[in-house]
Chains A and B, each alone.
Chain A
Amino acid sequence: MVIISKIELEAPDSLKYTDVGYTTDEAVKNEINEGFDATLGKFLGENRTKLNLGEVSVSTFFETTDFVNEARTEVETVDGLGLSKINNVNEL
């Protein structure tokens, strides 16, 4: 199963990951990750060097977006995490 993480800006210039659910549905996982890749993933990929050098701030991306979800943490159990199973991305 895969943990779904909510990624948002944590001041002043860093990302914050919060686990918001999990899924066992490959289609849900792929839809979430395609959304990430087309948005924040694209921004990070295009600006990686400048982000490392401090020449670009990730806050630029979050001027128009509150948060992005990603589903790339694979686990064998969600016991103790208090997470709900997500069957449809609209449940997020």
Chain B
Amino acid sequence: MAAPTKGNTTNANPTPGANFYQFSHNQNTGNNRLLVVMFTMSNSRTYSGATYNGSAMTQLYQINRSGLSQRMAFFYMVDPPTGSNTLRVNFSGSQWNPISVHARSFTDSGGVGNSARTGGQTTPNTQNLTVSQDSLILATACSINAISTIQIPQGTNRTFTTHNTNRQVGTGAITADAGHSAGTISVRTTSTSGSVTNDRTEIFGLASSGGESDFFLIM
């Protein structure tokens, strides 16, 4: 029926120097709100949870990229409180390496859908994700070398934020506003050389959330 409406983003690349890091993120007002946040950091620590305005966020994944010595995670919250609130991520111990943070708000979203993660493969790393009508895809990539492109779908470069976590991270790449048609979408990540990861997650539009189809009665 409609693609999600993209809202505010927050991108940060701090060295926490503590067993947590927190920052303010402004969730847009509107119906069917969704907040997602992606992290990348050294795998010397694990993520022990994330909160927004003090309430726990749901962890979609946390994956150890041992070849890159990095740990990547994705948390989300359905119908988060609006306005500027504190988003906090906790670690298993003090993190003295830089972390990559990308938070994005949505409205008019049916939540988080399919997600797939592919470890480092020789660039280009091209992978599929099956999505519902009007969904968006949010993607991130990590490499020893600089991230060159994130294409959603393959052949269409999307803007992304670059961070340095002692590895190179490209984060926050997302489908164009109109969303995808239902089907299998090819997502490509590239780095200047070597191998690169490819993590991709579907953000539902409103028609997609419950698996219900639109029903039209023609008289």
Contact = CB atoms under 8 A, between A and B. Distances in A.
A72 B12 contact: yes
Interface in A59-75: 70, 72-75
Contacts of B8: 75-77
A15 B26 contact: no
B56 to A, nearest CB: 22
Given A79-B84, A81-B84, A73 B15 contact: no
Interface residues of B, number: 26
A3 to B, nearest CB: 8
Contacts of A16: 18
A10 interface: yes
Given A10-B18, A44-B17, A81 B24 contact: yes
Interface string B10-21: 111111111101
B44 interface: yes
A55 to B, nearest CB: 11
Nearest to B15: A44
Interface in B101-120: none
B17 A15 contact: yes
Contacts of B44: 52
A73 to B, nearest CB: 4
The prevalent SS among residues of B at the interface is strand
B18 A74 contact: no
Contact of A15 (B9, B15, B24): B15
Nearest to B103: A75
A19 B14 contact: no
B51 to A, nearest CB: 16
B83 interface: yes
B161 interface: yes
B130 interface: no
A15 B21 CA distance: 10
B33 to A, nearest CB: 16
Contacts of A74: 9-12, 161
A32 interface: no
Interface in A24-56: 41, 44, 47-48, 51-52
Contact of B26 (A17, A51, A77): A77
Q: Which of A15, A47, A81 has the most CB of B within 10 A?
A: A15
Nearest to B98: A44
Interface string B24-46: 11100000000000000000100
A28 B190 CA distance: 32
23 contacts: A14-B17, A14-B18, A14-B19, A15-B16, A15-B18, A17-B22, A47-B96, A48-B96, A48-B166, A72-B14, A73-B11, A73-B12, A73-B23, A74-B9, A74-B10, A74-B12, A75-B8, A75-B10, A76-B10, A80-B24, A80-B84, A81-B26, A81-B84
